[in-house]
């Protein structure tokens, strides 16, 4: 019997990285402060590849609450087939496979501070990126936000997980530029074809 998907997502959040649990693969884990998102890949009963997106909030004691299901559906691409992935990328280092948004209770109040009693939900924007096997990591460069008073977080580098799909989740007003990079000795080389992603502010 297959382990419940929410339990698999919970394990991935606790570890802070992708895992594999039998027929279910954790493609990526995206953590932003006290909110975390997990992208799962699996096969439906009809054999078609599908994805599921879960999220959770981190409690004050540092543990993650049981993840809730946000969305899911067919991928439309056989991501386990390297030739199909290469054909879909058509020479680009990355491509957007799906783009979506969901109203998520982020635990932030209207002031932006954590306040669950005031949490009316925020429209979080998601991108699932197909990434070339030539890339070793993604650089997420935070750009100026819609609200000038807010200082964008520092840029971060995320190791490519070895899965062809990676997740980007942005809160309202956040903007990033995503670069695929490969290692050459001790250097990191940016591949051409950066993606600019923006989650409109409220």
| Longest Cα separation, the chain | 51
**Cβ neighbours for 133, distance < 8 A, ≥ 6 positions apart:** 82, 85, 164
Q: How far apart are CA 154 and CA 34, in angstroms?
A: 17
Residue 143 bridge partners (DSSP)? 175
What percent of the chain is helix, strand and coil (3-state, nearest 5)? Answer: 10, 50, 40
Instruction: Return the SS3 of 43.
Output: strand
Tell me what pLDDT residue 144 has: 78
- Which own/partner contact pairs does 100-103 have at CB distance under 8 Å and 24+ positions apart? 100/71, 100/125, 100/126, 101/125, 101/126, 101/199, 102/53, 102/70, 102/71, 102/126
Burial class (CB in 10 A: 0-12, 13-18, 19+), 191: middle
The two three-digit tokens of residue 172, written as one number: 């309202």
User: In the beta sheet, which residues pair with residue 174?
Assistant: none
Are the C-beta atoms of residues 66 and 16 closer than 8 Å to each other?
no
CA–CA separation, 61 and 43 (whole Å): 35
| Overall pTM > 0.85 | yes
Residue-by-residue pLDDT tens, the chain, 202 positions: 467 899 999 999 999 988 776 788 999 999 998 999 999 998 888 888 899 999 999 999 999 999 999 999 888 888 888 899 999 999 999 999 999 999 998 876 544 454 555 567 899 999 999 999 899 999 999 887 766 556 667 788 898 877 779 999 999 989 999 999 999 988 999 999 999 999 987 6
What SS3 state is found at 173? coil
Q: pLDDT at position 21, please?
A: 66
CB 158, CB 137: distance < 8 Å: yes
């Amino acid at each position: 019997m297959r382990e419940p998907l929410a339990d698999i997502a919970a394990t991935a959040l606790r570890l802070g990285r992708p895992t594999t649990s039998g027929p279910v693969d954790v493609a990526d884990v995206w953590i932003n402060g006290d909110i975390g998102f997990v992208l799962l890949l699996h096969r439906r009963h009809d054999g078609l590849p599908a994805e599921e997106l879960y999220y959770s909030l981190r409690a004050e004691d540092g543990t993650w609450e049981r993840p809730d299901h946000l969305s899911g559906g067919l991928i439309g691409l056989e991501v386990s087939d390297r030739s199909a992935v290469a054909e879909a990328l058509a020479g680009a280092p990355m491509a957007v496979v799906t783009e979506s948004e969901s109203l998520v209770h982020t635990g932030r109040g209207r002031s932006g501070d954590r306040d669950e009693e005031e949490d009316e939900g925020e429209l979080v924007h998601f991108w699932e990126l197909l990434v070339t096997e030539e890339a070793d990591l993604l650089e997420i460069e935070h750009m100026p936000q819609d609200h000038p008073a807010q200082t964008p977080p520092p840029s971060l580098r995320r190791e490519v997980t070895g899965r062809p799909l990676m997740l980007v989740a942005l809160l309202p007003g956040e903007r990033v530029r995503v670069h695929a990079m490969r290692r050459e000795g001790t250097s990191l080389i940016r591949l051409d074809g950066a993606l600019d992603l923006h989650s409109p502010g409220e």
